[in-house]
């Protein structure tokens, strides 16, 4: 049992944190948000130079060969910086499908472009009716010779606005909520029949609604075997959930630090407000929630590769419950303890709050995962 | 980074499990599973089984019976003990006064007391709290005045757990009333048979009689029974309180109780199906399991950090105390909810009580669960209340 980072992992952590400390203060973030893509293309190139965009990919595919711990390190740093770049969408999520499911030919053609920073991806999966049910897919992929024709509507596609290609889930067989019968297809965002409606999200990022009308997909753009994508979807989403947990922990830690600092500097009644016990206890409650979230983030990270699927799913569900609950508590208290200034767009704390709330709902909120965990039998068996 | 135990640690865990399977007497294990109160003899015999094995005081220096285990192995041992579930060794000797004597006591005190603590030949109790000194412990007023080669002690201690069985009490007493309150306190070891000591039981809301008031009326204590220097008792107290670290989370205990909860919820019926199949109830259990898993991971992080920092106490142990006590309380609450209306019958399980041997009203498994729920309210109060723990977090970690 060991919670230490290796020497390489420490170096990675230092270099990411240094880059973000130099380049990603709050005013820079506000500027990046107003760039055409809603993030900094310049920083994206820097991430490529630093090797971050190749981090989780195998060395044979042109990547660095990092694992869940490396992804955790980067995502936590991004959480602290409130980074806007589509790292989660491109590298963690869509990249996860390529890494774990794509053919050698597809990996060889796409991964080097991701690593160099020239290709942005997004995962087009959720639909209007699906809520948090990953199996609920009504989009259809119909076989047409060696091709597939995809029809349907995808919603809330994170960074779907800027993606060059979309990893689209569609049903080749089965009923709408069946786990079996799902396929994954790589679709050019500019392909005939694809329409996108881009929009900003409450956390300062961007997303898109994606309509697919008779979109033709070649056999070379299929990930894995159509009909059998369920295992891969859960595996990639679980790993992505661990990464989101790390981002949330980074943001929660930053919010907590800001709040404690504020308690030490803000004076009322002639004393720093941190002298008041009621506020000290709130800050302590926030720390407890943060540390419990960090603990579960570590569990999720170290379970992301677990070959026992049920154990992995339970650990991830439990983590999402904790992250969701801790995030709400830390975020709400951070705003409350900042008082009026916490309500303003000009203060950073509210932006952290909004991002943490959204990481809490992405791929299922605390209630959803609690029900899932209970259905899987919970964490402790009866004797 | 790796959550798994090393092969050596796994082998050690298996060794502990195998030992517990054969060494833990079944009647004691049943009482633990069912949440029934243990008799004095249960604790005595279990402690001696551990001591015969050489595992009574693993955290002590090897020369005094310690095992020299790593923090991880100590953690594994404690977890396995709690999950068996076996009784926790009585803390007052092995975790409290023992380490104080080891760190600050004289050679004569060590030779006299330590082996008898390890074997529970002496039953120790703790004389800290007083009616007017609870969270503000340093304001204690029990006085010790010098008279030749003795102290004469007068005053009152309270909340003294299991003093009715105790042979000895370790006491904080005021030896210099003129000094600042923390600077006039000494740490005395007092034989409970000394004339002038009276023990009066306090009945708690669960009907239990585990705590007492202890009165001192001109009690003569030899000077040689003072630990360390006169008026330095507060330093030793801080050492003692800081010593209670990762064990206070009691993760293994809560795991064993959650297992019991699932068993009981499978036996209880809700309408036409077992309670455990009710989604609302399962969700309540799952929510607690998440909290407990997070606490277990936090505890492992503190254990790992201890190993790195050379065993220094970590202020994060206040988090373990707060979450650990909240979870113990929440589990006891669900256990009581699981038996529904059978929370009603009053079970007063003292050995002295005439109803001790009567069969319980309602199902066997329901007996005592309401009492346990009421009793568990204590865990967020004792050992530094959760509010005091938050003060510690605010000062020691957050710098507020």
With CB atoms and an 8 Å threshold, state whether B262 touches A69: no
List all residues 6 or more positions away from B198 whose beta carbon is below 8 Å from its beta carbon: B214, B215, B217
Are the C-beta atoms of residues A152 and A140 closer than 8 Å to each other?
yes
Does B307 have pLDDT greater than 80?
A: no
* Among the listed residues A220, A296, A218, the one whose alpha carbon sits nearest the alpha carbon of residue A252: A296
Other CB atoms within 10 Å distance of the CB of residue B144: 27
Q: How would you classify residue A204: left for phi > 0, otherwise alpha for psi between -120 and 50, otherwise beta?
A: left
Bridge partner list, B221: B151
Looking at residue B37, what is its pLDDT? 83
| Minimum distance, in Å, between the CA of residue B359 and any CA atom of chain A | 25
Looking at residue B153, what is its pLDDT? 98
ipTM of the complex: 0.95
Q: Are strands A121-124 and A165-171 parallel, antiparallel or unpaired?
A: parallel
**DSSP states along A257-279:** HHHHHHHHH-EETTEEGGGSHHH
Structure tokens at B398: 């957050």
* Among the listed residues B254, B287, B264, B282, the one whose alpha carbon sits nearest the alpha carbon of residue B379: B254
Residue B352 pLDDT class (50, 70, 90 cuts) = low
DSSP state of B380: G
Q: How far apart are CA B93 and CA B129, in angstroms?
A: 17
Q: How far apart are CA A85 and CA A40, in angstroms?
A: 7
Chain B, 276-315: which have a CB under 8 Å from a chain A CB? 279, 282-283, 285-287, 289-298, 300-301, 304-305, 308
Residue B354 pLDDT class (50, 70, 90 cuts) = low
A278 touches chain B (CB under 8 A): no
Q: How far apart are CA B391 and CA B370, in angstroms?
A: 31
Q: How far apart are CA A123 and CA A169, in angstroms?
A: 8
With CB atoms and an 8 Å threshold, state whether A371 touches B283: yes
A298 touches chain B (CB under 8 A): yes
Domains and CATH numbers, chain A: 7-119 (1.10.540.10), 122-227 (2.40.110.10), 231-375 (1.20.140.10)
Does B199 have pLDDT greater than 80?
A: yes
A3 touches chain B (CB under 8 A): yes
CA distances to B64, B66, B113, B342, B393 from B119, rounded to whole Å, are 12, 13, 10, 39, 36
Residue B311 pLDDT class (50, 70, 90 cuts) = low
pLDDT digits (tens, 9 = 90+) for B102-155: 999 999 999 999 999 999 999 999 999 999 999 999 999 999 999 999 999 999
Looking at residue A304, what is its pLDDT? 93
CA A20 to chain centre: 18
| Peptide bond between residue A91 and the one before it cis (omega within 30 degrees of 0) | no
CA distances to A300, A327, B237 from B156, rounded to whole Å, are 51, 47, 18
Structure tokens at A168: 């689209």
Residues of B taking part in catalysis: 244
In percent, how much of chain B has pLDDT > 70? 96
* Among the listed residues B337, B306, B336, B334, the one whose alpha carbon sits nearest the alpha carbon of residue B320: B306
Burial of B362 (0-12, 13-18, 19+ CB in 10 A): middle
DSSP state of A94: I
Q: Which chain B residues touch A283 with a CB distance below 8 Å?
A: 394, 398, 400
pLDDT, one tens digit for every residue, chain A (383 residues):
789 999 999 999 999 999 999 999 999 999 999 999 999 999 999 999 999 999 999 999 999 999 999 999 999 999 999 999 999 999 999 999 999 999 999 999 999 999 999 999 999 999 999 999 999 999 999 999 999 999 999 999 999 999 999 999 999 999 999 999 999 999 999 999 999 999 999 999 999 999 999 999 999 999 999 999 999 999 999 999 999 999 999 999 999 999 999 999 999 999 999 999 999 999 999 999 999 999 999 999 999 988 899 999 999 999 999 999 999 999 999 999 999 999 999 999 999 999 999 999 999 999 999 999 999 999 987 65
Q: How far apart are CA A220 and CA A187, in angstroms?
A: 11
With CB atoms and an 8 Å threshold, state whether B263 touches A382: yes
Phi, psi of A24, deg, nearest 5: -130, 50
B266 touches chain A (CB under 8 A): yes
Chain A, 46-75: which have a CB under 8 Å from a chain B CB? 69
Q: How far apart are CA A202 and CA A246, in angstroms?
A: 20
Q: How far apart are CA A207 and CA A218, in angstroms?
A: 26
Q: How far apart are CA B4 and CA A211, in angstroms?
A: 46
Does B246 have pLDDT greater than 60?
A: no
Looking at residue B250, what is its pLDDT? 94
Q: Which chain B residues touch A296 with a CB distance below 8 Å?
A: 290, 293-294, 297
| Minimum distance, in Å, between the CA of residue B330 and any CA atom of chain A | 16
Looking at residue B353, what is its pLDDT? 66
Domains and CATH numbers, chain B: 7-89 (no CATH), 124-231 (2.40.110.10), 244-397 (1.20.140.10)
| Minimum distance, in Å, between the CA of residue B304 and any CA atom of chain A | 7
Q: Which chain A residues touch B283 with a CB distance below 8 Å?
A: 370-371, 374
Tally C-beta pairs within 8 A across A and B: 143
Chain B, 310-339: which have a CB under 8 Å from a chain A CB? 316, 319, 322-323
Buried b (16+ CB within 10 A) or exposed e, A209-234: bbbbeebebeeebbbbebeebbebbb
């Amino acid at each position: 049992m060991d919670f230490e980072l290796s020497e390489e992992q420490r170096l990675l952590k230092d270099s990411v944190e240094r880059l973000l400390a130099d380049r990603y203060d709050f005013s820079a973030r506000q500027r990046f948000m107003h760039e055409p893509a809603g993030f900094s293309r310049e920083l994206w190139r820097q991430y490529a130079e630093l090797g971050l965009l190749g981090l989780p990919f195998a060395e044979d595919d042109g990547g660095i060969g990092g694992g869940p711990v490396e992804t955790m390190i980067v995502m936590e740093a991004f959480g602290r910086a409130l980074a806007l770049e589509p790292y989660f969408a491109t590298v963690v999520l869509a990249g996860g499908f390529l890494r774990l499911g794509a053919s050698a030919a597809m990996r060889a053609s796409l991964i080097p472009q991701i690593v160099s920073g020239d290709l942005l991806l997004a995962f087009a999966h959720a639909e209007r009716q699906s809520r948090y049910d990953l199996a609920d897919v009504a989009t259809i992929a119909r076989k047409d010779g060696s091709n597939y024709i995809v029809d349907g509507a995808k919603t809330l596609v994170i960074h779907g606005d800027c993606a060059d290609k979309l990893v689209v889930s569609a049903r080749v067989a089965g009923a709408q909520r069946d786990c079996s019968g799902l396929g994954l297809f790589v679709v050019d965002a500019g392909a005939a029949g694809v329409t996108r409606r881009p929009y900003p999200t409450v956390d300062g990022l961007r997303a898109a609604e994606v309509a697919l009308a008779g979109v033709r997909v070649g056999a070379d753009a299929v990930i894995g075997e159509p009909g059998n994508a369920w295992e891969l979807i859960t595996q990639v989403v679980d790993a992505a959930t661990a990464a989101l947990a790390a981002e949330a922990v980074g943001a929660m830690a930053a919010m907590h630090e800001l709040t404690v600092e504020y308690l030490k500097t803000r004076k009322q009644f002639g004393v720093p407000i941190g002298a008041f016990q009621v506020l000290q206890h709130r800050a302590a409650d926030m720390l407890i929630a943060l540390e419990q979230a960090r603990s579960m983030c570590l569990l999720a990270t170290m379970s992301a590769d677990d070959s026992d699927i049920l154990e992995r799913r339970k650990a991830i569900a439990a983590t999402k419950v904790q992250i969701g609950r801790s995030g709400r508590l830390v975020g709400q208290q951070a705003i409350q303890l900042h008082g009026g200034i916490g309500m303003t767009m000009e203060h950073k704390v509210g932006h952290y709050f909004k991002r943490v709330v959204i990481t809490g709902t992405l791929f299922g909120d605390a209630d959803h995962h609690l029900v899932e965990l209970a259905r899987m039998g919970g964490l402790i068996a009866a004797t | 980074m790796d959550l798994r135990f090393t092969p050596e640690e796994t082998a050690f865990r298996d060794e502990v499990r195998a030992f517990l399977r054969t060494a833990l007497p079944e009647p004691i294990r049943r009482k633990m599973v069912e949440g029934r109160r243990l008799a004095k003899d249960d604790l005595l015999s279990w402690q001696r089984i551990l001591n015969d094995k050489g595992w009574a005081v693993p955290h002590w220096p090897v020369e005094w019976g310690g095992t020299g285990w790593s923090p991880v192995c100590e953690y594994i041992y404690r977890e396995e003990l709690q999950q068996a579930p076996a009784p926790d060794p009585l803390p007052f000797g092995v975790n409290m006064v023992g380490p104080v004597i080891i760190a600050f006591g004289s050679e004569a005190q060590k030779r006299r007391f330590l082996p008898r603590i390890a074997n529970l030949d002496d039953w120790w109790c703790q004389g800290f709290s007083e009616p007017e000194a609870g969270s503000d412990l340093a304001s204690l007023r029990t006085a010790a005045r010098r008279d030749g080669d003795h102290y004469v002690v007068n005053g009152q201690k309270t909340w003294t757990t299991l003093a009715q069985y105790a042979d000895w009490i370790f006491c904080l007493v005021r030896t210099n009333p003129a000094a600042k309150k923390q600077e006039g306190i000494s740490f005395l070891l007092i034989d409970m048979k000394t004339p002038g000591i009276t023990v009066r039981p306090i009945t708690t809301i669960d009907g239990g009689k585990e705590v007492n008031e202890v009165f001192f009326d001109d009690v003569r204590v030899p000077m040689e029974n003072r630990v360390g220097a006169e008026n330095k008792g507060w330093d030793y107290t801080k050492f003692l309180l800081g010593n209670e670290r990762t064990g206070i989370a009691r993760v293994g205990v809560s795991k064993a109780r959650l297992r019991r909860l699932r068993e009981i919820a499978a036996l209880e019926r809700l309408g036409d199906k077992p309670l455990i199949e009710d989604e609302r109830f399962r969700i309540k259990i799952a929510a607690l399991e998440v909290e407990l898993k997070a606490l277990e991971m936090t505890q492992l992080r503190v254990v790992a950090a201890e190993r790195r920092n050379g065993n220094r106490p970590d202020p994060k142990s206040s988090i373990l105390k707060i979450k650990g006590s909240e979870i113990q309380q929440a589990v006891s609450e669900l256990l009581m909810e699981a038996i529904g209306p059978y929370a009603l019958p009053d079970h007063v399980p003292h050995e002295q009580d005439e109803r001790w041997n009567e069969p319980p009203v309602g199902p066997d498994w329901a007996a005592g669960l309401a009492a346990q729920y009421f009793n568990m309210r204590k865990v967020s109060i004792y050992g530094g209340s959760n509010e005091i723990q938050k003060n510690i977090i605010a000062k020691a970690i957050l710098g507020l």
